[in-house]
Chains A and B, each alone.
Chain A
Amino acid sequence: MTAYGELKKDADLEEAMARRIEFSISDSDCRGYLYRVAMMLTLLSLLVAGFNVAIDPYLRFGIPRYTGFSFFKPKAIRQVRMAKAYGVVRNEYKTIFLGNSRVDIGLDPDSEGLPDAFKPAYNLGQPGGGTEIALAYLEHVIVHHKPSTVVLGVDFLNVLRKPGDSGQRSGTVAIKSTDESPMWARLRSLDETKKFAPGFPQRLTDATASTLSLSALSDSILTVLLQSNPYVANMTDAGFNSGEAFRNLIRSEGQASLFEQKNAEYDDKCRERIFPPLEESQEIRAIESLLRLCKRREIRIEVYTHPYHADILRILNATDRWVEFENWKLKVSQLCQDYDTRLWDFSWYNDSTTEAVPVPSDRETVMRWYWESGHYRSTLGDELLETLFDSTQKKRSIGKVVSPETMPSWLEQIRDQRRAYESARPKSESNTSGYLSTSTQPIPSTRIIQ
């Protein structure tokens, strides 16, 4: 059957017809075309889906890892909300680490600092997330199984909020914003009425996004290509981000540059944001809700303040946040006491938090305890876990249990440390030198493994 004979008068098409006979096509030609397109589309889709499931770049399926092919998961750290929501319910973890990126990068669930009795553990740290997100993830875990222990890292910077934000929001994260809506939809809630219906479409979307999407395909290909990179980032099956990607940055820019960039960021944050009344702070409410949940479910919880590098402590003082920082600590210690748990304070001056930063021209040295001022390495995380779980307390102590009663004198001690540190190290030197107390020696940095 000839199609579209009426176009024969068109000069352009007439010319085309004269040269190409195919102008006349039949329905059967097109049926063959449709059949071939349908077959190829199906085949190619299956191939893409199979490849993506095998590589599992976002740890969506928990497929076994193959060395040289899919062992490291550098792209999972970009999909951390999704990866950890599914990862944490693949096993019955005894211990759950909660907090923001400091926890994500700092606490290794396989750490030797964590006694075997508390393993297996899972790192549920969510970069950019406040305690409200941590609470939602904990509920998600509890719907699946009840962990025996929770470690919660609390962060003063989460309390600060943008000037335009309502008091109902915590500082760093726009809670339940549109961008975060997939996260809320995929998490299981302890509220029975929300349990299934909202989650299913999101889980379907996640499965599709992890198998039949262009970004999953490109991330799978990159995952394979990056396997031989010595500094490839990775998320373990226990949710830990090793922070290895920092080594690439250090090699190109040096660790002093990382400190400088992050210090500027924290400085801006402290200057621009406001400290809400604590009774109105969503972050404080979330901490209380989380403590209440743990108490009601008989889950042991260890709460700790992050071991900020002394650079951040200096910024808090320089931006007039110090009193608020102390008030926040006091408030959290009060909450912990109300719910019969301990607060560990790691944010003070000691030989770890005052570790010397390499000079700007040094692009080889990697500090022992820190990636940059806000993010400590798992080496310090190991010590932190050991401090939290060592019942004998024989190790050198980098953390101190504080209560509302002991807090005033403890804060006074830190103020003294601060004065000593800042007088010994004027601001101009702060980025490149650490605190040299009379009682401790600087700890040598490790070298990059070439």
Chain B
Amino acid sequence: MLFNSYEFIFLLLPIALIGNRILSENYSARIVWLLSCSLFFYAWWNPVYLPLLLSTIAFNYFVGAHLRAKPTKLVLVAGVATNLALIGYFKYAGFIADNIASLTGSETHFGDIALPLAISFFTFQQIAYLADCYSGLPQRYRPTEYGLFVSFFPQLIAGPIVHHAEMMPQIKSIRRSTAVDKSVGLTIFALGLFKKAVLADGIAPYANGLFDDPQACQSATLVHAWIGVLAYGFQIYFDFSGYSDMAIGAARMFGIKLPLNFFAPYRSESISEFWRRWHMTLSRFLRDYLYIPLGGNRRGNARRYRNLMITMLLGGLWHGAGWTFVLWGALHGGYLVIQHGWSHQTKQLSRVKQTWVYRLFACATTFIAVQFAWVYFRATSLETANQIVGGMIGSNGISLPHALLNRLGGISRQLAIFGINGDSASGTNFVMALGWIGGLSLIVWLLPTTQSFMRRFQPAWEYTSQSTISRLPDAGFGPVIPLTWTPSLAWSLLISLVALVGILSLAEVSEFLYFQF
């Protein structure tokens, strides 16, 4: 079931809220109710994989209980290996087998296995749980509580990847949600729906026009290639931002505060800052359970760079079993290495780095580097991605639609002197794409994030205590119009309009990009 669907917004969510309200005085019944709603939500997509989800919950619950009672490394390794074997079989077996076959010249094919929904998310969540049980987790949870922690429907399908330390105390002391929770949750959900259904889906055709058309990939000239790539850059930005808002908003309606997952990543001034703002819970998981166990930055720069590369390569592979994802991870790993090298070499320039010009340059460089990497993330093959990157650096020349040049009069003759000629692309589409990119740029670099907008009302888990607030990212580079939500008449009008436009956009349902990972 998608968040941006009638059945979720008008059926499951209201029914779950009503049940939650009716059972508000009975803790156990509420937990069972929310767990049932979550399993129904999961099964709606494909009931075949519900037993798999239940089995993995039961398995990890019992292994966790064992580790808590008697922390043995062997059991931990066996537990983690089982989880990795599961995800390995469903997600990577075909990829590995195909590569072995191509290396050995064999024609054997592993067969197509349908990827169980959300397996990447609930597997990571439970590996973290086992590791913490081994390290001495103090509390004991009921099976239903644990089941709800893993499968709570707002975060089940595509994150945030919640940590038991964030969720379990909230589940255990689950209180009746207040009108404040519902107002805040509804507002965040409506903003997320708007971002996803209107903004991300609105710009998507301009990205698809490039990436889904082999001929366009092959012959894309500089401006057209950049338009397609930027369109995708903004599509995935608003898609993921919208999804994260909807997850946080839906959970908040039940009084549960999920962790932040997305915080103005395109305002980052470095790649490491980008990863502190983009898919924050995944970055945290990779840092705590991969980068640091690998040694982190403790054994010199060479080991540090190696660890960074391994972490980002596996992070890329986590997103999908394909060489394009590996390359995407490698690019980000490379970016991180370059960034750390640069920071090391330019320590003495700390005053220059505070200047507005340097920060602008840093933000623009980071943004452009991220866009180049998105090409590999989105393209269906390495060959296609390379073709598009070629277009972006001008290997196919520069051209503009004839229809546009015809209207530019004398300017088009000047452009021709610089080798900018006409092409047969639609002038209307070209102008519309530029309009979308310009409009969304203004939103990204002028408006506050949803959490900044709602910051007075604990819009995410990090806002619930002083220690976590201090770890929140700052606003990032660029001006921010200081808008702040209150339950006023003006905001109720505006949020109603935003919600209406989001609901009206449901008629054309599309999947979230992060569902495939």
- Contact surface of A with B, Cβ cutoff 8 Å: 3-4, 6-7, 9-10, 12-13, 16, 20, 22-23, 25, 27-34, 36-37, 40-41, 44-45, 48, 205, 208-209, 212-217
Contacts and interface: CB of A to CB of B under 8 A. Distances in A.
Contacts of B500: 41, 44-45, 48
B338 interface: no
A209 B507 CA distance: 5
B139 interface: no
B22 interface: no
A215 B198 CA distance: 11
Interface stretch (B124-132, B178-186, B408-416, B439-447): B178-186
Interface string B452-469: 000111100001111001
Contact of B469 (A3, A10, A25): A10
A27 B198 CA distance: 31
Interface of B: 6, 178-180, 182-184, 186, 198, 455-458, 463-466, 469, 484, 486-489, 491-493, 495-497, 499-501, 503-508
Contact of B179 (A6, A34, A205, A209): A34
B180 A214 contact: no
Nearest to B509: A205
A16 B465 CA distance: 17
Contacts, number: 99
Nearest to B202: A214
B496 A41 contact: yes
A36 B489 contact: yes
Contacts of B464: 6
A37 B496 contact: yes
Contact of A215 (B457, B488, B507): B507
B504 A7 contact: no
Given A10-B469, A25-B457, A37-B496, A32 B487 contact: yes
B492 A7 contact: no
A219 B35 CA distance: 42
Chain B interface, >50% SS class: helix
Contacts of A28: 179
28 contacts: A4-B458, A7-B463, A9-B466, A13-B455, A25-B180, A29-B487, A30-B183, A32-B487, A33-B179, A33-B488, A33-B491, A33-B492, A34-B182, A34-B186, A36-B489, A36-B496, A37-B499, A41-B496, A41-B500, A44-B497, A45-B503, A48-B500, A208-B6, A208-B507, A212-B504, A212-B507, A213-B508, A214-B505
Contacts of B463: 7
B179 A27 contact: yes
Given A30-B178, A30-B179, A44 B496 contact: yes
Given A25-B457, A45-B500, A212-B503, 13 more contacts: A3-B178, A4-B458, A25-B180, A30-B178, A30-B182, A33-B179, A33-B487, A33-B488, A40-B497, A41-B496, A48-B500, A209-B508, A213-B505
A16 to B, nearest CB: 7
B455 to A, nearest CB: 7
Contacts of B493: 36, 40
Given A44-B497, A45-B500, A48-B500, A7 B458 contact: yes
